[in-house]
Amino acid sequence: MKIEAHRLTGKGVEYLHCTKCSRLLETIDTIVLHNTDGANAMSSAHYLVRNDTSVSAHLVIARSGQIIQLLPFNVRAWHAGVSQHEGRQGLNDFSIGIELDNAGQLHRRGNSFFSWFNKEYPPGEVYTTVENGHAVYYHRYTRAQIDRVTEICTLLRLRYLIRWLVRHSDITKRKIDPGPAFPFEEVKINSGF
């Protein structure tokens, strides 16, 4: 896989065209990682490119490791919202947004686990942690996603001289994604940050 004309090329990459974003980025020095909180990668990608939504991203990484690119990396996406990092406001102006297909926080009913959109997940896909003395459940990320996002972050770091790899939760208090199930330190170290 490589980057050509601000797009990923190679096996496992497909493209959707997001027409609502067209402003070019003057500086690209940060990658922001998110999770979709959606049912699957393609439905999330289609939502992100819709003209009637106020969100977008550069990439969506499916649970299989498949990549859907929505915008070239040099175009400003609307993924960070009200945000700050390293003394700067508005990270959309400096960053590439990567969404990972993941249902986010899950809710337990008996011995079953459900997303906010009422899809059931098997126990093998559930990550359990403790928050404020109570068990809290999150959708696990797949090894294919972790390996793929590590590969992409490495490519982006080298191509654009990226200085920071951050989670959405690192740049705004109103978000928790990609959440505790995501092995951030592993990805950060293995992609050279």
Pick the catalytic residue from 4, 14, 26, 99.
Answer: 99
Residue 99 falls in the annotated catalytic set: yes
In sign, the C-alpha dihedral spanning 123, 41, 32, 82 is: negative
Peptide bond into 178 cis (omega under 30): yes
**What does the alpha-carbon distance between residue 184 and residue 13 come to, in Å, rounded to a whole number?**
23
Local structure of residue 24 (DSSP, 8 states): B
Residues in CB range of 3: below 8 A, 6 or more apart: 9, 73, 155, 156, 159
**Residues identified as active-site:** 99
